[in-house]
Amino acid sequence: MTIKLHCFGESGHSYKAALALELSGLAWEPAFVDFFAGQHRSDDYRNLNVMAEAPVLIDGDIRLSQSGVIQQYITDKTGKFGGAPDEKYEVLRWVLWDNHKLSSQVGMTRFLMNFLPEDKRPKEVIGFMQGRLKAAFATLENQLRGRDWLVGDGMTNADLTCCGYLFYDEPFGFDRKDHPNIDAWLTRISETPGWKHPYDLMPGNPSDRA
C-alpha cells in the first residue's frame, strides 16, 4: 500500500517527513495542501488533522501528524534513521531541540520575511527572531565540530529533522558560508542517494503564486 503524505513544498516540517520517506525507500506519494489558500483551516482538513497543520501521514488505518512522530513511524517501519539502540534517546533529544529551538524559529522568521507583503513585515520581531536563531545555529555548528552526523556514525532522525529548513533558498538570516560545519553536513545530506530539494520532492512553490 502506498503511503500518502499531506504536505506542501514550502513547509519545512513537511520536508522532514517527505525526505525521511524518500530516503527510506518506502512507497509514498504527496497530497498537496493548499496552505496559502487556507485549506488547512477548512472543516474537511480539520477532520483529517485537528491540529490544522501539515504534514499528515496516512498509511492504511494509521494517521499521524507532527514531523517527529512521522519520522519515528518510518524508523519503526523500516529500521532506518533510529541510530544504534543506545543512541535512541540522543536522537530524540535532537528532534525535540530542533522542534523547539531551530525549526520553530526558522519557520516563523522565514514566513515573516518572505511570505508576508513587504509593508506588513514586522522588522523588530524579525530582528529578535534572528538573534535567537544565531544561538541555535551556534549550537548546531558546535555539535558538528569533528563529526559527520549529529548522533553516531550515520544519518539519523536527528539529522533529518535539523536539516529540514536549512535547504530553503529564501532568506531568513542563515548563510552556509558562515557555518562551515553545518555547510559540510548539509552537503553530506544532499549527496545521499535519493536526496531531493523540498521544491522537487513536494508540490507547492512560491513561484506558483508569483
d(CA 82, CA 71): 9
Residue carrying the nine cell digits 531551530 = 102
For 26-73, the pLDDT digits (tens) are 999 999 999 988 899 999 999 998 999 999 999 999 999 999 999 999
Instruction: Give residue 119's pLDDT.
Output: 96
**Regions of the chain where pLDDT drops below 50:** none
Which residues on neighbouring strands pair with residue 57, listed in sequence order? 5, 64
Instruction: Give residue 153's pLDDT.
Output: 97
Percent pLDDT > 70 in the chain is: 99
Q: How many Cα neighbours within 13 Å face the side chain of 203?
A: 11
Specify the pTM: 0.95
Instruction: Give residue 36's pLDDT.
Output: 87
CB 171 within 8 A of CB 113: yes
Instruction: Give residue 210's pLDDT.
Output: 63
Instruction: Give residue 1's pLDDT.
Output: 81
d(CA 18, CA 102): 19
Percent pLDDT > 90 in the chain is: 93
CB 88 within 8 A of CB 40: no
Q: Domains of the chain by range and CATH?
A: 3-81+195-209 (3.40.30.10), 85-190 (1.20.1050.10)
Instruction: Give residue 207's pLDDT.
Output: 82
What is the enclosing helix (H) or strand (E) of 57? strand 56-59
